[in-house]
Every structure is written in C-alpha cells, then in structure tokens.
C-alpha cells in the first residue's frame, strides 16, 4: 500500500467524529441512556434525508459528552485516525452552543479539546487549529454571548465559523458577530451553499468577510459567482461524502468536484462528520478518485490546495508538508 498523500483537513466538526463505540462508552461512564440498544442499532439510524435529519441525531448523541476528559478522548481519537490517513494539519470546528445549552461550560469543552490538540504534534504528527462555530439556527444574540464567553480562551481559538441548519438563516444575520470576531483578531469562515442558495455564498464573502467558504457546493448554479471565486482564489472546503449522505447529490459519481477543479476553483476535499458519513478524509480522497476518475495530478492539486487554503503561516506550512 502506498503511503497516503500528506494533506490538511479544513472542514471537520469534532462532534461529528463521535463513533458509536465511543458514544456508548461515554454514555455508560456518564450515566446517560441512549435511545438505541447497541452500536448496530445506532448505525441503522444513519440514513439521512437532508441536513436537518442528520443534525437531529448529531445533537442528540452529543448528550454523552460531559467532562474535560470526554472532549480530550474524542479529539485524540480523531487525530489518531486522521494521522493514519495522511493528515498533517487539521483545522477543527467545534459547536460550543450545543454543549452550553445542556449545561456544559464552554471552558470544559475548550480545555478538553486543547489538551488533545496540545499533544497532537508529538503524539500524531499533526498540527492543529481550533475554529469556534456559531449555530446559525440560534439567534445572533446567542452567538454574540458565545463569543463573549470565549474571551478567556481566545489564545486557543484561531477563528470563527457558522454551521447548523442553513436555509432561512443567511450569513447577514451574523454581521455584527463577525465584525466583533474580526476586531478580536479571529479568522473567519462560514458554511454557505451546502443547502442554501448561491447568494448565501456572496453574503458570506461580502457581509461577513470570510476567507474560505465551507461547502460552497451550490456555487456551480451561478457562473458569475464561479468566475468570482476563481478570480479571488476563494477556497471551498468541499465534503463529497457528506453531500451524498445528506442527499445534496444522488451519487458520488455526480459530484461536480472534477468540473470545479477544471474551472480553476480552489477546491479542497474534507470529511465534515466522518463518524456519520462513511469515511475519514483519506477514505474521502480514495472515494472521489475512484468515483470521478481523478488522476494523480488532480489528487496532488487537492492536497496542495488543502495546505494553501489553511491558516498555517508560511513557515509552518512548509514544515507540515
């Protein structure tokens, strides 16, 4: 077996790496009863019809995460799996509101994740960054309160993102929050154009000033937008297995990744929520290569784009490769 291509992962929700086995182990440890008999029955629930049907399960299963150690264990398990698939750098999303809403302090979440990330270079050969996401189906006030609550931990956080149910929650809803995040020196990304229209991608760029678009899949419906994304070299953190599992596209063979690369878009390939969508990022690289017939040069372009689109500074960027 050839060694996996060195790559960076830029679109990964740490809560989406919660494998059924760890979910049951943490449930037992924390006295949480899951409404599934065993891991097999839980896996049977992983048949999604859209983003919301996934989010319902994703938030339900998080109830097993309670302590600093739980978050450390979750992140360490991800880093081990990612490293085995060639990941040298990971920019990791987390959803503080999904935890604070159930009484887990933001400090528990960040400290737990930070403990795993602090040892990641030595233990797994992976450099890391943390990106704090706001839940777009919650209010802008709640997002602002979350940013405020994160202030003691800003040295741990590289940037902010926007996730959860997209349609009906345009980026412009978070204009003030993103301005406040920028004033604090945080980098900015946002999910846009996963289920939402191309105009949400424009808003994320023009109103929030994001540096990368997470997903951005639906830009292909708007040639003028594609032209702009190419011209401005805006990175798109695509997640092809997620798109299939959440029914944004029917089958992987229909994914527009190859034509997006041909159009000159700065596309990257990522796993999103690998415990739920059938593969980590190396599996995703293999799957798109097979389904879309990408050649070695295209695979190398994807790997190169992942480092170029990352928030590593130039020196670190070179070292990671």
Q: Rg of the chain over CA atoms, in angstroms?
A: 18
Site for ligand HPA in 147-166 (CB under 6 A): 163-164
Task: Please report, for residues 68, 189, 226, 251, 284, the alpha-carbon distance to residue 263 in angstroms, rounded to integers and kept in the order given.
Answer: 45, 22, 8, 21, 21
For residues 270 and 247, the answer to whether their CB atoms sit within 8 Å is no
Please report whether residue 271 would count as binding ligand HPA according to CB under 6 A. Answer: no
> Order of strands, edge to edge, in the sheet holding 187-192?
7-13, 87-94, 127-135, 159-163, 187-192, 212-215, 235-238, 266-269
- Is residue 273 marked as binding? yes
- E strand or H helix at 33, and its extent? none
Q: Which is nearer to ligand HPA, 173 or 320 (CB)?
A: 173
Q: Minimum CB separation from Zn ion for residue 36, in Å? A: 24
Site for ligand HPA in 48-67 (CB under 6 A): 51, 58
> One of 91, 194, 195, 203 is an active-site residue; which one?
194
- Is residue 215 marked as binding? no
Please report whether residue 91 would count as binding ligand HPA according to CB under 6 A. Answer: no
For residues 258 and 294, the answer to whether their CB atoms sit within 8 Å is yes
- Residue 298 touches which of ligand HPA, Zn ion, none (CB < 5 to 8 A by kind)? none
Cα 192–182–225 angle (5° rounding)? 30
Give the whole-angstrom CA distance, residue 29 versus residue 101: 21
> Nearest to residue 17, comparing CAs of 247, 271, 286?
271
In the set 12, 194, 219, 245, which binds ligand HPA (CB under 6 A)? 194
In the set 193, 272, 276, 311, which binds Zn ion (CB under 5 A)? 272
Binding mask 210-249 for ligand HPA (x = CB under 6 A): --------------------------------x-------
* Residue 272 DSSP label: B
Please report whether residue 9 would count as binding ligand HPA according to CB under 6 A. Answer: no
Please work out the total of residues on this chain that contact ligand HPA, with binding judged by CB under 6 A: 11
Please report whether residue 15 would count as binding Zn ion according to CB under 5 A. Answer: no
Please report whether residue 9 would count as binding Zn ion according to CB under 5 A. Answer: no
Give the contacts of 276 (CB within 8 A, at least 6 positions apart): 16, 46, 48, 54, 57, 58, 245
Please report whether residue 272 would count as binding ligand HPA according to CB under 6 A. Answer: yes
Q: Which is nearer to ligand HPA, 53 or 301 (CB)?
A: 53
194 is catalytic: yes
The residue number with the shortest CB distance to ligand HPA is: 163
Task: Please report, for residues 10, 49, 85, 184, 284, the alpha-carbon distance to residue 131 in angstroms, rounded to integers and kept in the order given.
Answer: 10, 27, 22, 14, 22
Instruction: Please return the burial class of 254, using the count of CB atoms within 10 Å of its CB with bins 0-12, 13-18 and 19+.
Output: exposed
- Residue 16 touches which of ligand HPA, Zn ion, none (CB < 5 to 8 A by kind)? ligand HPA
Residues in contact with Zn ion by CB under 5 A are 272
Residues at the binding site for substrate are 273
Q: So which residues are the catalytic ones?
A: 194
What residues make contact with ligand HPA under the rule CB under 6 A?
A: 13, 16, 51, 58, 163-164, 191, 194, 242, 272-273
């Amino acid at each position: 077996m050839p060694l996996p291509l060195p790559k960076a992962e830029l679109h990964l929700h740490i809560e989406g790496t919660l494998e059924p086995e760890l979910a049951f182990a943490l449930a037992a440890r924390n006295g949480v009863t899951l409404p599934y008999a065993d891991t097999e029955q839980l896996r049977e629930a992983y048949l999604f019809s859209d983003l919301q049907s996934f989010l319902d399960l994703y938030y339900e299963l998080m109830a097993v995460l309670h302590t600093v150690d739980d978050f450390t264990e979750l992140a360490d398990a991800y880093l081990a799996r990612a490293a085995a698939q060639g990941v040298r750098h990971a920019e990791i999303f987390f959803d503080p509101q999904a935890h604070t809403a159930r009484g887990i302090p933001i400090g528990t979440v960040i400290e737990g994740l930070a403990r795993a990330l602090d040892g990641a270079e030595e233990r797994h050969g992976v450099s890391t960054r943390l990106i704090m996401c706001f839940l777009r189906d919650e209010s802008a006030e709640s997002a602002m309160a979350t940013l405020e609550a994160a202030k003691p931990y800003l040295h741990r956080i590289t940037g902010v993102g926007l996730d959860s149910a997209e349609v009906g929650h345009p980026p412009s809803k978070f204009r003030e929050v993103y301005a406040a995040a920028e004033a604090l020196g945080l980098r900015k990304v946002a999910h846009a154009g996963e289920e939402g229209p191309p105009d949400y991608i424009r808003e994320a760029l023009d109103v929030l000033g994001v540096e990368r678009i997470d997903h951005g899949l639906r830009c292909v419906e708007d040639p003028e937008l594609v032209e702009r994304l190419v011209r401005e070299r805006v990175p798109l953190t695509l997640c092809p297995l997620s798109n299939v599992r959440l029914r944004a596209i029917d089958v992987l063979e229909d994914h527009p990744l190859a034509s997006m690369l041909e159009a000159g878009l700065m596309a990257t390939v990522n796993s999103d929520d690998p415990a739920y969508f059938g593969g980590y990022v190396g599996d995703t690289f293999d799957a798109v290569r097979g389904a879309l017939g990408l050649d070695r040069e295209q695979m190398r372009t994807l790997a190169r784009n992942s480092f170029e689109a990352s928030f590593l500074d130039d020196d670190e960027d070179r070292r990671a490769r």
